[in-house]
Amino acid sequence: MSFSFDLHSLVSRYIPSSIRRERQAPDTDSAGIPFSNQDDIDALRRDYEEKTRSAQDPTLESCFNYCWALVHSRNKTDVILGLQLVEALLSHPEDGLNHRELLYLKAVGLYRRGENLDARQTLKELIEAHPDFRQAETLLEHVESEVVKDGIVGLTAGAAILGVVTTVAIAAASGSRKR
C-alpha cells in the first residue's frame, strides 16, 4: 500500500469549512514549515484513537496524519511524541508508508527540537536517496545556515570568555609586579 500526504485534503477532511481560514497565508516558521494548531492536533488524535479502538490497529493514514500534526506543532511535547511515533513507523518499513515522507517528518521534528546536526544528517541521507526532493533540499539549506549561525555564536562566546580570562590574567600579573 503506497501512501502520499496531501495537506489540503487533510485540512478539508478534518477542519470544518466554517472555521477554516480561506486564502490566508499559513502560519510558518523561519524555514517556511507550517505549524499545526491545537485544534488540528486534537481532531487527528481523536481520529487516530477512534480507528485504533474500532479496528484494533490504527490505519496507516490516520497514524501518519497524527504524526504530521505533532511534529509541526509549536509545543515541544507534541514534537517529541510525533518523533517517537515516526521512529516507530520507520521501524516497520513493511507497513507500506512512504519512507521518504517519514524521514522528512523526522527531519522536521529534529529541526523543531533544535537538533540541527541530527536534522542535517537525516536530510542528507534523504536527499541522497531521493535527489529530486526539493522540500528536503530547502529545509537542508535552512538547517545548514542554522548550524553555521550556532557555530559562529559559539565561537564568539568562546572568544569573549578567552578575552575575559586573558584580561584577568594580565591584571593579576601586573598587580603582582607592583608589589
36: which residues sit within 8 A by CB, 6+ positions away? 68, 69, 70, 72, 73
At 35-58, the pLDDT tens digits run 888 999 999 999 888 887 876 566
Give the burial string for 62-90 (b: 16+ CB within 10 Å, else e).
bbbbbbbbbbbbeeeebbbbbbebbeebe
Q: What is the DSSP string of 94-153?
A: GG---HHHHHHHHHHHHHHTT-HHHHHHHHHHHHHH-TT-HHHHHHHHHHHHHHHHHHHH
C-alpha distances out from residue 52 to 45, 61, 65, 68, Å: 10, 12, 14, 17
pLDDT for position 105: 94
What residue ranges of the chain have pLDDT lower than 50? Answer: 1-5, 7-8, 10-11, 14, 16-26, 153, 155
Identify the pLDDT of residue 23.
36
pLDDT value at position 148?
77
What pLDDT is attached to residue 123?
94
Give per-residue pLDDT as tens, 107-134. 999 999 989 999 999 999 999 999 999 9
Give the per-residue pLDDT at 162. Answer: 59
Question: Model pTM?
Answer: 0.67
Secondary structure letter of residue 93 according to DSSP: G
Cell of 40: 488540528
